[in-house]
Chains A and B, each alone.
Chain A
Amino acid sequence: MSTTLALIIISGIATGSVYALIALSIVIVYKSSEAVNFAAGEVVMVGAYIALFFIVSTSVPYWLIFPIVAIGTFAIGAAFERAAIVPIIRRMSARENPLIPIVIATFGLSLMLKGIVRVIPYTEQVRSLPPLVRGAPIRIGDVMILRADLAIVVISVLFILGFWIFFTRTLLGRALQASSQNPLCAQLSGIPVARMRMIVWGIAGLMAGVCGVLVGPKLGLTPDMGGVIMVALAAAVIGGFSNLPGSIVGGFTIGVLQNLIGYWFGSETIAVAPFIMIMVVLVLRPQGLFGGPVHVKKV
């Protein structure tokens, strides 16, 4: 394998780990509310700017930035669920599908978040977060791996593992899973389903916010960086959209594949690669590469 190819794949894995986290954030919301959160990208952006604010104007150590951002973006997600999702579902009659109104509301949220951030003075110019770790790249032969990239992958994988343990081993996590898999049964067994949905939106916000801190050093910060959601959507589709481990694999796949497509077919194809992948996957296998049979809601 040539050095160039190795570098391309390594960089793809690093960005892919971030796509995987955003995809996870989208998928857990989808599992609990059957709607796509198109504001996830903007929550990533807000997370990055919260981190920038604390780095620029306080002397908080880097590791402490993560919990601060996590709390902030959890609050955004949970508050949005209370303020928008609850009233929408309450006002819809049972046989109507709330999917489209919720999607529109997330578009509204994304405009609001962009609108707020844009008014803050230091968002007019591109900014960057400092790298997570500094130091010379690790060399394996001719191939070098950046410590910062390694840190992104390690932290994302740790986060993903943490969520996996949370969802499968803790009481709250299992209650969350139960209430999204079968709300009626969960309700009957005493789980407060409505509150569970709020927590899910909060956790989704948290995941996206942490992504912001992770990509901050790698991508420039602009109020429009939320556009990365399109790639994350592709990752989620490849993964089957309702399949958590699938979307993680999808994230890495798309990070690497996007770069490979650009390498083989020319850099102008990088932008369109995620969309082609979505179409190809859905046409050939409508439930995604790792999805089970399509889940049909009985009315």
Chain B
Amino acid sequence: MYGTLSKSETLWPVFIVIAGLLLPFFANNYQLYLGCVLIVYVVLALGLDIIMGRAGQFAFSHIAFYGIGAYATAILQQRFGVPFPIGLVIAVLLSAGIAWLVAMASVRLRHIYLGLATVAFASAAQWLAQTWKGVTGGVDGMRLQPSDMIFFTSRTDASNFRILAVILAIMLLLNFLLIRSRLGRAMAAIRDSEHVASVSGIDVRRTKAWAFVISSAYACVGGGMLVVFNSFIDPMNFTFAPAVLLLTMLVVGGMGSVAGVVIGSLTMGILPEILRSTMGDFIVWQEFVYGLILVLSITLMPQGIWGLVRNRTESKRSAT
């Protein structure tokens, strides 16, 4: 795992960029918008997987940094005229700073305590977005202008999709690099056993804090991406429900693997769309069916879709 990128790891981002640039020629606005939604889910889920799947820490605060990213890029662009790419970098630095503080405060916590502390942090952040009217516009939300990309202004679904595809490719590449880095290995060691990791000379606190900061930076980028393809954001985007949805994506797809995370975010992202268009007169049962699918997929595949696929192929290999 350690070392330079494999062939497929370099090819995937390149493929995504090419596909992302070409797809808008063939797809309609509906498909492109849906594509944008799914791309943001993938970036958010990749980020959440860094702290949960790679470092094994149960953190709910992702959604808060998603909100910080969205509001920071939106405010920088609307009020101060900062172009999106520069605004996004500033937003990432800002949220990394906040994430560092949260990590320092919560690094002693393990297991469910960290989960609960971050639930509280996310809920408090959402409350702040609702209450701090002078900055966020409060519950009235913020109307967004088309994003200023320095060289051009992104006005259409097609150009929004292209921008998002490029960002996705970058974030995916960074994710591969992280996994293969020293830090990535240290994170995996902590996930497997904190005790063994610290004995073998890994600074557990520092590694956990870094995992948290990087994971939060991904969420912040996801928030920035939300601003690119939407004309309106309000605090309702950052409630507990999307936080649960993200967690679901990770678990349904399979934590700790890029393929699993991508599969999970695409499946759970598209599921409401499928349910909505297939359930017809039974649409009132949608919430129930969604819950049922969730429980069934967890009980049948606790390691996720990818975990199941991997187990199948491994057992086949060992059988022959």
Asked whether the complex places CB atoms of A and B closer than 8 A, the reply is yes
Contacts of A107 in B (CB 8 A): 244, 247-248, 291, 294
Report the separation of the CA atoms of residues A97 and B127 in the bound assembly, to the nearest whole angstrom.
Answer: 32
Contact yes or no, A279 B193, CB < 8 A:
no
Residue of A nearest to B125 (CB): A275
Q: Is A118 an interface residue (CB 8 A)?
A: yes
Q: Which of the segments A10-18, A98-106, A143-151, A249-257 contacts the partner chain?
A: A98-106
Query: If the complex has contacts A36-B112, A36-B115, A279-B124, are A99 and B285 also in contact, measured as CB distance less than 8 A?
Result: no
Contact yes or no, B105 A283, CB < 8 A:
yes
Query: If the complex has contacts A88-B299, A108-B291, are A286 and B284 also in contact, measured as CB distance less than 8 A?
Result: no
Binding site for A on B (CB under 8 A): 52, 56, 58, 105-106, 108-113, 115-117, 119-121, 123-124, 127-128, 131, 192-193, 244, 247-248, 251-252, 255, 284-295, 298-303
Q: How many A-B residue pairs have CB under 8 A?
A: 144
Hey, what's the 0/1 contact readout for A257-299 against B, CB within 8 Å counting as 1? 0000000000010011011101100110011000000101001
Contact yes or no, A109 B291, CB < 8 A:
yes
Residue of B nearest to A98 (CB): B302
Report the separation of the CA atoms of residues A118 and B58 in the bound assembly, to the nearest whole angstrom.
Answer: 31
Partner of B302, one of A92, A233, A275, A296: A92
List A residues 29-86 near B (Cβ within 8 Å): 30, 34-36, 83-84
Report the separation of the CA atoms of residues A115 and B58 in the bound assembly, to the nearest whole angstrom.
Answer: 27
User: Secondary structure of the B side of the interface?
Assistant: helix
Contact yes or no, B302 A115, CB < 8 A:
no
Contact yes or no, A286 B113, CB < 8 A:
yes
Report the separation of the CA atoms of residues A104 and B250 in the bound assembly, to the nearest whole angstrom.
Answer: 10
Contacts of A98 in B (CB 8 A): 302
Contact yes or no, A30 B112, CB < 8 A:
yes
Extra contacts besides A97-B56, A108-B292, A111-B287 (14): CB < 8 Å? A107-B248, A108-B298, A112-B291, A116-B288, A119-B285, A119-B288, A275-B121, A276-B120, A278-B119, A279-B121, A282-B116, A286-B109, A294-B113, A299-B193
Contact yes or no, B247 A100, CB < 8 A:
yes
Residue of A nearest to B282 (CB): A119
Q: Is A241 an interface residue (CB 8 A)?
A: yes
Contact yes or no, B109 A111, CB < 8 A:
no
**Cross-chain pairs A/B with CB under 8 angstroms, 28 sampled:** A30-B112, A36-B115, A36-B116, A83-B295, A84-B295, A91-B300, A95-B192, A99-B58, A99-B112, A100-B255, A105-B295, A105-B298, A108-B292, A108-B298, A110-B291, A114-B288, A115-B287, A115-B288, A275-B124, A278-B119, A279-B105, A279-B120, A279-B121, A282-B120, A283-B117, A286-B109, A294-B110, A296-B110
Partner of B284, one of A35, A118, A282: A118
Partner of B295, one of A103, A112, A119: A112
Contacts of B192 in A (CB 8 A): 95
Contact yes or no, B291 A272, CB < 8 A:
no
Q: What 9 A-B pairs are tightest by C-beta distance, nearest first?
A: A115-B288, A111-B291, A108-B294, A112-B291, A115-B287, A278-B120, A108-B295, A275-B120, A272-B127
How many of chain A's residues have a CB under 8 angstroms from any CB in B?
Answer: 52
Contacts of B291 in A (CB 8 A): 107-115
User: Secondary structure of the A side of the interface?
Assistant: helix
Report the separation of the CA atoms of residues A101 and B300 in the bound assembly, to the nearest whole angstrom.
Answer: 11
Contact yes or no, B113 A241, CB < 8 A:
yes
Contact yes or no, A99 B298, CB < 8 A:
no
Contact yes or no, B298 A104, CB < 8 A:
yes
Query: If the complex has contacts A241-B112, A279-B120, are A84 and B299 also in contact, measured as CB distance less than 8 A?
Result: yes
Residue of B nearest to A83 (CB): B299
Residue of B nearest to A298 (CB): B195
Q: How far is the CB of A229 from chain B (nearest CB, A)?
A: 10
Residue of B nearest to A89 (CB): B302
Residue of B nearest to A42 (CB): B291
Partner of A278, one of B117, B127, B290: B117
